[in-house]
Amino acid sequence: HIDRLQNVVSTRQIVPTYVVDFPIASTADGFAPLKEFADQGRARIGAHLHPWVNPPLSEELTKRNSFGCCLGVALETEKMRVLSNQIAESFGRPPTVYKAGRYGFGPTTASALEALGFTIDVSVNPRMTYSSEGGPSFDAFDTTPFFFGSRRRLLEIPCSTDYTGVAGPLAPRLHRMISHPSLERTRLVGVMSRLHVVNKIMLSPEGSTLGEMKALSRSLLRRGVRTFSLTMHSPSVEPGCTPYVRTTADLGQFLDRVAAYCDFFIGELGGVASTPEGFLKSLTSRQEHLS
């Protein structure tokens, strides 16, 4: 049912990047619809590692091991290699964009990306931490793209997750305080959000309202941010597959939210749609021009 989302973005001349895991890339019914869009130039294909369903399956199945960066460099690299090869076989070209499942990105992931020929990572989720489950913390990151790599240069395009509200620079510390498990019953997070004191928002139709996505975009724009990443899980286009879309009515509202945000971004903000590869090319061209 991915055509439901594809139709929304294609109508607006937006080319999405679908990052696919091993079960999708190795199953004809999974990759065939995406390959059709990719072959038509209407979509791009990237890699998405979910370790627990990606060969080789040699690790113990634990929460910690659901983060690729916790597997050790050899196993993580081998899983990413198998995934990349499978995508190349199924789609006719190797992926250059990588997104770690569960945002499981770390130093070993960076090494694997360099070794396997990837050029862009989109795994970093700023202001978020998964340390309680043994995963990485991106608390210190913001939404600004950056280059990384020890042997060659790769581009990181983080998710667009950040704080809004009058708390300003105090937002990270304040939000951490009110999010402490001991204060869960007080519902301070919700109260502070409604009072516009502090709200942590991800640029996604999953869990964020259209108003919140607009507020985040305007706030980031005022702070000088010029790169925005709208992300979602593809199963949300079918009712009952994710917590965000339970009914047919939810689905309609979900797709309307995507459409309305895209119209806002392109219209009111004057934004320009791009693929990760297109964005990297624009940066490279700009640097060559300056030099």
Work out the pLDDT band at 291, boundaries 50, 70, 90.
Answer: low
pLDDT above 90 covers a percentage of the chain that reads 85
Work out the pLDDT band at 288, boundaries 50, 70, 90.
Answer: low
* 14-18, 23-27, 128-132, 196-200: the lowest-pLDDT one: 196-200
Q: What is the mean pLDDT of residues 186-208?
A: 89
* 35-44, 107-116, 142-151, 176-185: the lowest-pLDDT one: 176-185
Q: What is the mean pLDDT of residues 247-273?
A: 98
Model pLDDT for residues 19-72, shown as the tens digit of each residue:
999 999 999 999 999 999 999 999 999 999 999 999 999 999 999 999 999 999
pTM (two decimals): 0.94
Distance of CA 36 to the CA centre of its chain: 23
Work out the pLDDT band at 290, boundaries 50, 70, 90.
Answer: low
For residue 169, is pLDDT > 60?
A: yes
* 23-32, 154-163, 281-290: the lowest-pLDDT one: 281-290
Model pLDDT for residues 91-131, shown as the tens digit of each residue:
999 999 999 999 999 999 999 999 999 999 999 999 999 99
pLDDT of residue 181: 81
Structure tokens at 258: 């995507």
